[in-house]
Amino acid sequence: MKILWQKIVKKAYQQAKRTNRQNYGHLFQKASPSPNLSSQWRSSKHSTAFASLVLAVLLLAACGQKVEKPEALPALEISSGEIIGNYNLLGGRQWRGIPYAEPPVGNLRWRAPQKVKPWDEARITQQHGPACTQTSSGTVSTSAGANGLIGQEDCLYLNVYSPKDADNLAVMVWVHGGSNTHGSADIYDGSRLAVENNVIVVTLNYRLGALGWFRHPALVSDEELLSNSGNFGTLDILASLQWVQTNIQAFGGDPNRVTLFGESAGGFNTLSLMLSPLAKDLFHRAIVQSGGLWFDDIATATAYPEDGGSDYSALEIERQLRMLNGWSLGAKATRSLIEQEKKAARAEFLRGVRVEDIFTAYNYLSDSKPDIPRVFRDGTVISSAEPIAELTDASRHNNVPLIIGSNRDELKLYYYQDPKYVDLYFNRYAIIKNPPYYNARAQYHSERWKYQGVDRIAEALSKADGEKVWAYRFDWDEQARPLGMKLDQLLGASHGMEIPFVFGFTDSGGLFDPMINRKNTAGREKLSKMMRGYWAHFAKTGTPNHLQQSKWLSWAEQKELKQYALFDTSDLVHSDQTVIPESFYQRIIEDSRFKSDQQRCEVWASLINEAPKLWPKSGYNQTDRLDCSSYPFEKFYP
């Protein structure tokens, strides 16, 4: 059976390769495939991060790497020295792996990014810089090391893509997603967006996970207020925006027309910088794709668990690190010894410990992905006030025009490889167990995402009487069916699916190739051109609307009817189906896709678990309409 499956995979691979050449021969040359398919399968691990999950379902993410024949550009002078980029296959220019801050290593670990030191000789910037240290997930192009980690602490690099002749062009700065724990700029190729839409595109890395957000009392200093915040990843993004202000004119960019945009965690980080006093005038428009807005509590991110802190708090991690490094004592005794040490000695230990041990400490505390604290309302980097309230007052946030949206089937990304919802064959081939239930559950949670990440934010900003907001929902679901696997139903318009449309299908790993066929090529290209047109015109002018495309109504253009645009292969249309959280309970009761009260109670409990501020746990067992007494909340979420 295994041999038969490998033959099927090889045949599918060959078909995918032929399809790619037919569809994208005019854009990219494909490398020869690796003969070792099984090793590529093993390297594609399941993860909640988008690209990793796509790798898992694609069966053979081995559709090839883009092959580029770099022709060097003349040396370009920037503030830190000369750099030498190269032309890309579209005729545009690119500079990759430009350092925008000093490497945050050694004594600079868990400190605000420092200005990069100048270099004397011209620097070759034709390859991406290393990803920031993270556990292997498939969201970067680098293979994992023996310890399961990829990337380096020396990772603060960015990339610039521009048309061949650029003069005072609008600038788009991309912040990648990945839960602020995974991801890298190296899989986002901005060449097509830049060349065909006449903008400058910048992509960047920023510190992730515990290296990006870590609030520890031993690291606090009266002389380093920024470092005290603990928001090091946020500070990295700010440093990249400051670099853009200083240097982008050398690339033909306009520092007064900078759009900050990102997806998932990148969208969240974009919104958080709208609440940062340090980001004032560093960007002038914003685009948030499937983001949200929430922050972790400083006290729980710092304190020991026995004092009410998070299981992954900074003090708990220090305790775990001490035990990993030779203190073979119990938790209480280890804490006592730590508290006897001087602050400077503790800081020296934390900055000197091996990065592998930091990740081991987190993994030791949990068999699953640790829900580590990240992004704090510290009052310096991020406003300490309640975020939605800040957005309702134009004078209390960075008041810039905003495009904000989500995808119709966001949550399907997290279901399509979950054995609770699908039957898995060979750990890859998925068939939905109960399609009506699968679709219903995904719909309610995707609507929850839309309310939290789009509707409530657009509504708050519309009350501010400030800059306009344009909202959208991405609905494309016309994926190919490799080996007959119904990706259009398994994934549909899931989380991250809009990214290749914004970039023009130029991802460096071929992650979306098996979703592509000749049948969906015309529609995909039409939708990609439409979205890139709106995104780029917004970056240039502060409004997505221009004469070549249908008018996109802003959220507040009709005071009573809140509207958002629908993006699929049709012409742009509008919908007023805004999400009403109060309606969910009754809708679940009446939804015929659920075949039992157990299914209804499970979905109701899952909504409460994910958004207790919208639906308090006290309202779970409302026996007058839905009897969940046989299915207590703790049955689903112990």
pLDDT on residue 26: 36
Q: Sheet containing 81-84: which strands, arranged edge to edge? A: 76-78, 81-84, 123-124
Residue indicated by tokens 């011209």: 122
Q: Cα–chain-centroid distance for residue 148?
A: 21
Return the structure tokens found at 13.
Answer: 């691979």
What one-character-per-residue DSSP string does 332-380 give?
Answer: HHHHHHHHHS-HHHHHHHHHHS-HHHHHHHHHHH-SS-------B--SS
Concatenate the DSSP letters of all residues of 50-62 into one string.
HHHHHHHHHS---
Instruction: Kindly report the number of other CB atoms within 10 A of residue 54's CB atom.
Output: 28
Residue (of 390, 409, 388) closest to 452 by Cα position: 388
Q: Which residues contact 38 (CB under 8 A, 6 or more apart)?
A: 6
The single-letter DSSP state of residue 131 is P
What's the chain's length in residues?
Answer: 638
Amino acid 223: pLDDT: 85
Distance CA 292, CA 276 (A): 16
Calculate the dihedral angle through the C-alpha atoms of 223, 229, 234, 237, rounding to the nearest 10 degrees: -10
> Among 99, 218, 177, which Cα is nearest to 502's?
177
**DSSP string covering 192-212:** HHHHHHT-EEEEE----HHHH
Phi then psi dihedrals of residue 161, to 5 deg? -120, 135
- Inter-residue contact 295 to 382 (CB < 8 Å): yes
Residue 625: per-residue pLDDT = 83
| Closest residue by Cα to residue 614 from 425, 402, 453, 500 | 453
Amino acid 211 reads: L
pLDDT of amino acid 508? 58
- Mean pLDDT in each 10-residue stretch from start to end of the chain (638 residues)? 42 44 36 27 33 39 45 96 97 98 97 97 97 78 69 97 97 97 95 98 97 96 90 98 98 98 98 97 98 93 95 95 90 95 96 94 74 89 94 96 98 95 93 98 98 96 92 97 95 96 83 87 96 98 92 84 91 91 95 96 96 93 84 92
Tokens, residue 432: 């939905």
Put simply, whether the predicted model's pTM sits higher than 0.85 gets the answer: yes
Burial code of 5-40, b = ≥16 C-beta within 10 A, e = fewer? Answer: eeeebeebbeebbebbeebbeeebebeebeeebeeb
Run of H or E residues at 286? strand 285-289
| Lookup result for tokens 């945050």 | 104
- Helix, strand, coil distribution of the chain in percent, nearest 5: 40, 15, 45
Buried-state track 534-568, b at ≥16 Cβ within 10 A, e below 16: bbbbbbbebbbbeeebeebbbbbeeeeebbbbbbb
| Contacts for 273 with CB less than 8 Å, ≥ 6 apart | 234, 237, 238, 241, 260, 279, 282, 283, 286, 398
Please give the Cα distance from 38 to 18 (Å, whole number).
21
